Amino acid sequence: MKKYRLFRSLLALALAAGLTLPTALAAQSAPPEATPAVVTPKAPVESQLLSDMHIEAAAAILVDADTGTVLFDQNAHEQRYPASITKVMTAMLAIEAVDRGELSLNDVITVGSEVNREVGDGSSTQNIKEGEQIRLEDVLYCALTASANEACNVLAQAVSGSVDDFVALMNQRAGELGMEDTHFANTHGYHNEEHYTTAYDIALMCREAMQHETFRTIVTAKSYTVPATNLHEARELHDTNALVSTWRITGYYYEYATGIKTGSTPEAGQCLAASASKDGRNLISVVLGAENIAQSDGTTLRQSFSESKRLLQWGFSSFSTKTLLDSTYFGGTIPVTLSRDANYVGAQASGEIEAILPNDLDPADFQVTPEFNAESLEAPVDKGQIVGKVTVSNGDTVYGSLDLVAVDSVARSELLYRLDQVKRFFDQLWVKMLLVVVLVLAAVLLLRWLLFGRRRRYGSRRRGGYSGGRYSRRRRR
């Protein structure tokens, strides 16, 4: 009987061990409670500077040229006619061909038969004639400085061989630049119902064009002399942009202006894409659909110039670059398991987020939201290891995210690691199933042994008693 009790005790101990070992090991490696940074929801804050700003035009936009940040938007995605601002794309494609080595600024072009393609009555022109031989650089000045429509067709044939192929290239390049609401139908912007764009798309185009030194040199030139050609005497060109040049129109000159292009048709209204640089900052403005207004003193207020200048001045005085988040931000602590050195590790931001903001907005009023990649970390943890991210936003505007990194290293305990490996082993489904099968088999074998083994022993005792009886009778004789 003692053997049976011992066997049953061992079996019960094995059952208990198999069922409780994973739980015990889990308790050994259970992570502590996390302590994230406190996040207080903040309502969006608005700039009164932006709310109060309005431009006297159908559409307008102001963009930081260096970052692409939109500072001001007034119907900027509304499709409108660009008029001669179109010539920015035409000139840029010619300059890009020069940069690729396909053309040279000194190439002498023989003007082809499409020189006057869609150049209607009243067009701005420099009277470039078919068969005239003129340098590519001089044609660029005719197109951008003097806004000559036929010069754009000359550039188109030089680059693509035909105007149609060049217009297709214009639309292809517009797509590459993300100008989703733009379609070009000609090279110069003379009115066509199928020729349209937006202030936003023009800003994208101008920002790209201003990356080219040749383009910048031309659009900042107040004047330029085209040497005499085989069919024309020397041409004196003067910039049509009154922010750059006072030759045509006075009263709008802006000392910080660096371009870019005027445009006007009865359908488009008065338009101007302008740029300016001041104190290391570069801005691009686009004003579409402005008006020329007769004043009581007999002068004319040309709003494309006055509003562009006002918009640029406002941009320089009302915005500044501010730091929204840097490495001083502490994102809280995250639990660490499998270590005896530390139960937590701190997380701090890595890097810096800056943004150009209206001066009346304080980044301290923005929402800062940290997120951990996991509820806990397993040691070892390396200093600088990415453990999450932190995001800065104001309402629906997200300014960016930084990685959250561990501020210290945490070594691993080999004992806790081994115990965790054992726990993981026993946590596997197939191991649990195998344990159950083994324990069930052990229980069945024990039950069978108890039942059938007892019967065999009982039968043996009965046979031994009968033989003893026979022996006793023989002795009594």
Would you list the DSSP string of 183-215? B-SSSS----TT-BB-HHHHHHHHHHHTTSHHH
Q: Which residues contact 256 (CB under 8 A, 6 or more apart)?
A: 276, 277, 278, 312, 316
Number of domains in the chain: 3
Q: What is the mean pLDDT of residues 225-234?
A: 98
Q: Which two tokens stand for residue 296?
A: 């009581």
Across all residues in the chain, what is the average pLDDT? 89
Q: Is 104 part of the annotated catalytic residue set?
A: no
Shared domain for 69 and 18, answered yes or no, is no
Residue pair 376/34 in contact (Cβ under 8 Å)? The answer is yes
Shared domain for 329 and 385, answered yes or no, is yes
The model's pLDDT over 166-206, given as tens digits with 9 standing for 90+, comes to 999 999 999 999 999 999 999 999 999 999 999 999 999 99
Q: What is the mean pLDDT of residues 27-37?
A: 54
Shared domain for 342 and 431, answered yes or no, is no
Residue pair 347/381 in contact (Cβ under 8 Å)? The answer is no
Shared domain for 364 and 404, answered yes or no, is yes
The model's pLDDT over 359-375, given as tens digits with 9 standing for 90+, comes to 999 999 999 999 999 99
Q: Which two tokens stand for residue 221?
A: 């030139």
Q: Is 87 part of the annotated catalytic residue set?
A: yes
Q: Is 423 a known ligand-binding residue?
A: no
Q: Which of 9, 42, 51, 84 is catalytic?
A: 84
pTM equals 0.81
Q: Please count the other Cβ atoms lying within 10 Å of the Cβ belonging to residue 281.
A: 17
The model's pLDDT over 9-24, given as tens digits with 9 standing for 90+, comes to 545 544 454 545 444 4
Dist CA 120 CA 137 (whole Å): 24
Q: Per the domain annotation, does 46 fall within a domain?
A: yes
Q: Per the domain annotation, does 178 fall within a domain?
A: yes
Q: Is 306 part of the annotated catalytic residue set?
A: no
Please report, for the domain that includes residue 358, its CATH number: 2.60.410.10
Number of helical H runs and strand E runs in the chain:
11, 20
Shared domain for 205 and 259, answered yes or no, is yes
Q: How does residue 468 score in pLDDT terms, banded at 50, 70 and 90?
A: very low
Q: Which of 51, 113, 147, 320 is catalytic?
A: 147
Q: Which of 87, 309, 389, 423 is catalytic?
A: 87
Helix (H, G, I), strand (E, B) or coil at 250: coil
Burial of 253 (0-12, 13-18, 19+ CB in 10 A): middle
Q: Which domain holds residue 440?
A: 1-30+420-455
CA-only gyration radius of the chain, Å = 42
Q: Please count the other Cβ atoms lying within 10 Å of the Cβ belonging to residue 282.
A: 17
The model's pLDDT over 69-97, given as tens digits with 9 standing for 90+, comes to 999 999 999 999 999 999 999 999 999 99
Check whether the bond before 32 is cis (ω within 30° of 0).
no
Shared domain for 406 and 435, answered yes or no, is no
Q: Per the domain annotation, does 230 fall within a domain?
A: yes
